[in-house]
Amino acid sequence: MEQFITFVSNNGMLSAAWGALVVAIIVTTIKIQMSPVKQVSSQELTFLMNREQGVALDIRSEKEFNTSHILDAVGLSNEKINKNGFASLEKHKENPIIVVCSAGIIAVKVANDLYKKGFSRVSVLKGGMGAWTSAGLPVTKK
């Protein structure tokens, strides 16, 4: 313990940086746990779509969507969202909506926007399409 205190006192900037990183990780973890938008795995997405009439909302570009997407997914690129909002999803307002992007990062913003618009059961596919294809799950080009 004495060596630790000596190290911290001799390396103040490095110790402060490590402390800031630890705090940032803790805050991010709490923020994710408290968020109304949850992250779901590929298996949970399959369950939601098959048993609870869930909708996979693919927000990647039209070109990426047309190349490959989850079977029965709804393609709604960011450009279309910015232009028309979520009008095409109103009929699915009570169903689970799982937002899918390339890596699962951009989807969080869209999912939060959906939640603010009154969609109560919104989730994000953890890892995005990358996780879906890495798991060897089927995709379609139709």
Same domain, 15 and 70: no
Name the residue range of residue 22's domain. Answer: 2-33
Same domain, 21 and 48: no
pLDDT at residue number 103: 86
Same domain, 98 and 83: yes
Same domain, 57 and 115: yes
Same domain, 84 and 28: no
Kindly write down the DSSP assignment for every residue of 94-139, as one continuous string.
Answer: TS-EEEE-SSSSTHHHHHHHHHHTT--SEEEETTHHHHHHHTT--E
**Number of independent structural domains in the chain:** 2
pLDDT cut 90: percent of the chain above it = 49
Same domain, 114 and 56: yes
Same domain, 99 and 72: yes
Same domain, 42 and 98: yes
Same domain, 19 and 41: no
Radius of gyration in angstroms for the set of CA atoms belonging to the chain, rounded to a whole number: 20
Query: Which two structure tokens, joined as six digits, stand for 75?
Result: 């393609």
Answer whether residue 135 shows pLDDT above 80. yes
Same domain, 113 and 52: yes
Compute φ and ψ for 136, nearest 5 degrees: 75, 20
Q: Model confidence over 41-78: pLDDT tens digits? A: 999 999 999 999 999 999 998 899 999 999 999 998 87
Same domain, 29 and 85: no
Instruction: Output the pTM of the full model.
Output: 0.78
Same domain, 116 and 69: yes
Which CATH number is 95's domain given?
3.40.250.10
pLDDT at residue number 19: 92
